[in-house]
Structure 1
């Protein structure tokens, strides 16, 4: 097993087989990501992308949650201090989420998401950015953006549509419908569902070992070819999400929603 180091809410390390592990550990907010945690993930992915010894990357969350999305409580505090977000603030927020998912997508080696518990908002986008997804039966995916006056981001408008098809992606994005792990497997969003959370690590370990036994160049070229065929709208989706979310983060609807969240969390 890798000797993991902790910084900014993230455990990380590389084992002797070349499996790099990234574990989100912010239990007080169900592993929601603040700016520091996001920056740590971006930095790690950037370094691992250049590290020839890394054969596979595994992303997970500790404590029964994968990632509950952006740290809305922190956003609410910032918004209150500034009297709301202006265009510059809004663009910085959405571009950070795009960089986060982009850093995962830019990894040339296969990425496995080990999902236990909720994958919500940008957390769902982060999970679906992986190449192989395995989830415990208690897990679920939820795009909650419209409930607070926003739109999906982190390339979710491309990745979810590519995996689920237009109808089911619309149900999640427009109606905010939850997709449980069993349904996610049945409709092709994830590669496997494991009944007990304790069994998830073993399934992921077997997949990682199989990948480590394959040619790194063959895997990288295959991954790039599959991405080129299935995510043709990725860059355009990022551009649309940045433009749309920058606008929505400044609207009275979002300001009211985040103020209500802040009041409710006191």
Structure 2
């Protein structure tokens, strides 16, 4: 369901579940995590390209498939120490840990978990018809795939807060104006290939040092944020208001009222 092909030092990572708009199953999280680990130890690697098979990048979490086994939810959120990254955080943040440029080639829907993974890339090149949204707030949850680390280095505070709080989709032009994506292109593959030609002409050691330096500059306090994301998500999963939000998300014609806010 996630394919890896390395050609001339370029790793092509493809979400391959087009019949589901490449929605993320539990197995796909595991496969992405393993691929990131494998690529991190490849000294011949020069760059990575993330893409989706078919017309869409990724429509987000396949909730039905993941929820069939409640133990999967525990596995996705589990971490040995509070500041460690859990599985859902690693498949987004892990691309930033790779010492090479990472590009996301985005077509169609790039929603929820799909957008979180794309945010882990260093550069996001999208077609004009691409659609973007952070979906967790629709279900009464908070983004928990390391987005609290990634978004502040990409968007201004008010825009990041609004995007995380509102599940409405925005188009590629809006996303580009916000700075959420790097470029809109009618032919994103060609655009990325041109950029690959440029980066592979640079010393791989220089690129690794530059990426490490600017990741450190733009993303401080990582361990505290990783813990807060997970703790807040667990707290929300146990909240009555979350159950109301999930009902309202499925039954928009018969919404239920929310109860009093918990102490945060």
User: TM-score scaled to structure 1, two decimals?
Assistant: 0.84
Task: Give 1:236's aligned residue.
Answer: 224
Q: Which runs of 5+ in 2 are unaligned?
A: 80-84, 252-264
Q: Residue 5 of structure 2 aligns with which residue?
A: 13
Q: Which has the higher helix share?
A: 1
Q: 1:167-202, CA deviations, whole angstroms, 9 ceiling, x for partnerless residues? A: 1111111122423211221222222101x3xx1111
Q: Is the contact between residue 65 and residue 118 of structure 1 (CA under 8 Å) also seen in structure 2?
A: yes
Residues 243, 115 of structure 1: alpha-carbon distance in 2 compared, 3 angstrom cutoff? same
For residue 101 of structure 1, report the CA deviation from its aligned partner: 1.7
Q: Out of 226, 230, 237, which is 2:214 matched to? A: 226
CA distance in 1, matches of 2:106, 2:154: 17
Tell whether the 8 Å contact from 1:10 to 1:23 is kept in structure 2 after alignment. Answer: yes
Cα RMSD for the two superposed structures: 2.6
1:89 and 1:50 mapped to 2: Cα distance? Answer: 24
Q: Distance in 2 between matches of 1:90 and 1:60?
A: 22
The partner residue of 2:128 within 133, 137, 140 is 137
Structure 1 residues 96 and 261: CA distance shift in structure 2, 3 A? farther
Q: TM-score, normalised by structure 2?
A: 0.85
Please tell me whether the aligned partners of residues 30 and 68 of structure 1 are also in contact (alpha carbons under 8 angstroms).
yes
- Verify the 8 A CA contact 2:149 2:222 in the aligned structure 1: yes
Q: How many residues align?
A: 247
CA gap 1:116/1:10 in 2 versus in 1, 3 angstroms: same
8 Å Cα contact 1:181-1:193 kept in structure 2:
yes
